[in-house]
Structure 1
Amino acid sequence: MKFKPLAFIVNIAITLGIGALGGWATAQSVKTWYPTLNKPAFNPPNWLFAPVWTTLYILIGIAAYLVWIKRDQITHFPRTVAIYLIQLMLNLAWSFIFFYLHEIGFAMAEIILLLIVIVINAVTFYRIDKRAGLLFIPYILWVSFASFLTYNILILN
């Protein structure tokens, strides 16, 4: 399949755009509210989150591109897109729920739903293009860690 640079850039731009919106929701609270929370000893330093999420959003965008270029071969392409978009919206919602609304309990419930939808998305992508599904593994691992971290912050606060 021939490389489509514009489609490649658009798919990555979409995920980075979602990340930027999440960053906007997070920015103020990282300086004010988040430092006041009790956090577990394994809480990563704040500087680590931006490069990790940027990398993950790029991998997610590449996975989406790999699926998009096969869209004509996918029987249920609208369903595939819906799963992908739901996953992105849940990803964005977590930032708003946790950092903007300061609702740790609600964020805990939401991140569990997010993780389930990420796994569904990964399996869906894997069935279309194995590479696309495998690109979701770091995302699954990071959100699993974020779920554990959120749970611990909930318990400690």
Structure 2
Amino acid sequence: MNRMMIIPVTVATVAALCVAALGATVTDLGPWYQALAKPAWNPPDVVFPMGWTVIYALITVAGITAWRAAPNTAAAEWVIGLFALNGFLNISWSILFFRFQRPDWAFYEVVLLWLSILAMILYCGRFSKKAAVLLVPYLAWVTFAAALNRAVVELNAPFG
């Protein structure tokens, strides 16, 4: 690996690992979650960590790719900012859903998460089609998660 790649790869990898670890730390599949009514199409719990592992790997590669392809420092800083905002929203959803036990609030927040992914795709796609394509599975995953979140709200409301 050349020296030009070390910083982006290191920063993106550490950031993705931190977001994944924080998200996992606040995710509690204990009695409250198990007691929630879920739709028939809810996948087994084991699917989620496997899916998130793939998604985080794709996000990391997309971030590195976009950062390296950015035409100037300002564009690279926007890439970092968009990915950082997205990481914050990703963790926030887990906190709202699992820690606060408010799937209703989490549903509204997942809309912001979804929009942040779309913003990353559109912005990065201006100078890196590869980065944009790598983020499409993340958008699809969060679209599915949002639909699942909405179904949980409908089956279990009211909350709080």
Partner of 1:146: 145
**Distance in 1 of aligned mates of 2:106 and 2:81:** 22
Misfit runs of 4+, over 3 Å: 74-77
**AA of the residue aligned to 1:4:** M
Is the Cα–Cα contact under 8 Å of residues 86 and 117 in structure 2 kept in the other structure?
yes
**AA of the residue aligned to 2:17:** L
Paired-residue identity, %: 30
Length, aligned pairs only:
155
Offset of 1:71 from its aligned partner? 4.1
Partner of 1:137: 136
Offset of 1:15 from its aligned partner? 1.0
Is the Cα–Cα contact under 8 Å of residues 71 and 127 in structure 2 kept in the other structure?
no
Across the aligned residues of Structure 1 and Structure 2, the Cα RMSD in angstroms comes to 1.8
In structure 1, runs of 5+ residues without a counterpart are: none
**Distance in 1 of aligned mates of 2:51 and 2:81:** 25
Partner of 1:47: 46
Q: Does 1:36 align with 2:38?
A: no
Offset of 1:130 from its aligned partner? 0.7
**Distance in 2 of aligned mates of 1:18 and 1:76:** 22
Q: TM-score, normalised on structure 2?
A: 0.89
Is the Cα–Cα contact under 8 Å of residues 84 and 121 in structure 1 kept in the other structure?
yes
Offset of 1:117 from its aligned partner? 1.2
In structure 2, runs of 5+ residues without a counterpart are: none
**Distance in 1 of aligned mates of 2:78 and 2:130:** 19
The C-alpha deviation readout for 1:81-119, integer Å capped at 9, x for no partner, is: 222211111011000110111011100000011101110
**Distance in 2 of aligned mates of 1:37 and 1:25:** 17
Is the Cα–Cα contact under 8 Å of residues 94 and 107 in structure 1 kept in the other structure?
yes
Partner of 1:110: 109
**Distance in 2 of aligned mates of 1:145 and 1:69:** 30
Moved more, 29-38 or 139-148: 29-38
**AA of the residue aligned to 1:111:** V
